[in-house]
């Protein structure tokens, strides 16, 4: 997962192939032709609607472009964001980039290393090992 500070982030409105999706918008009806990036906003860290939107975009819509988390993004949320299908997280201004990088580096198994499958890696980790690969 790529991490950005608020200063490094450019709003979707300034990018020709980027969209900003409102929290109450249905990603299942979104026209995705020509879209390379979708920004999903967390108005509060306790508002989880963007997780559901990211998951639907990855799994059901099979969106291969960038899904970016913006808004009230905390270091504590990075694991769930990655499992839900986010590629990029724009950290809240008071969240130290160095701490976020350390969190991600100390948990390289997000997604593939998790017991359960997720939006990106459908099979659980044990199913991806050579020992458990179907022959």
Domains along the chain with CATH numbers: 2-107 (3.20.20.70)
* pLDDT reported for residue 107: 66
Position 121 scores a pLDDT of 55
Beta bridge partners of 40: 21, 69
> Residue 120 CB: number of other CB atoms within 10 A?
17
Q: Tens digit of pLDDT per residue, the chain (135 long)?
A: 999 999 998 887 677 888 899 989 999 998 899 999 999 999 998 999 999 999 999 999 999 999 999 999 999 999 889 889 999 999 999 999 999 999 888 765 544 445 555 656 555 655 655 554 454
Tell me how crowded residue 18 is: count the other CB atoms within 10 A of its CB: 18
pLDDT of residue 96: 94
User: What confidence score (pLDDT) does residue 79 get?
Assistant: 85
Residue with tokens 């590629």: 87
- Torsional sign, CA 29, 30, 32, 36: negative
42 SS3 class:
strand
């Amino acid at each position: 997962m790529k991490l950005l500070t608020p200063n490094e982030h450019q709003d979707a409105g300034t990018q020709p192939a980027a969209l900003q999706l409102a929290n109450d918008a249905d990603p299942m009806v979104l026209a995705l032709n020509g879209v390379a990036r979708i920004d999903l906003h967390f108005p509060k860290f306790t508002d989880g609607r963007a997780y559901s939107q990211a998951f639907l975009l990855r799994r059901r819509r099979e969106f291969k472009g960038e899904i970016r988390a913006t808004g009230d993004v905390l270091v504590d949320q990075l694991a769930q964001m990655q499992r839900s299908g986010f590629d990029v997280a724009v950290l809240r201004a008071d969240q130290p980039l160095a701490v976020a990088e350390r969190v991600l580096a100390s948990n390289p198994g997000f997604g593939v290393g998790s017991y359960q499958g997720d939006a990106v890696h459908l099979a659980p980790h044990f199913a991806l090992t050579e020992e458990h690969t179907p022959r």
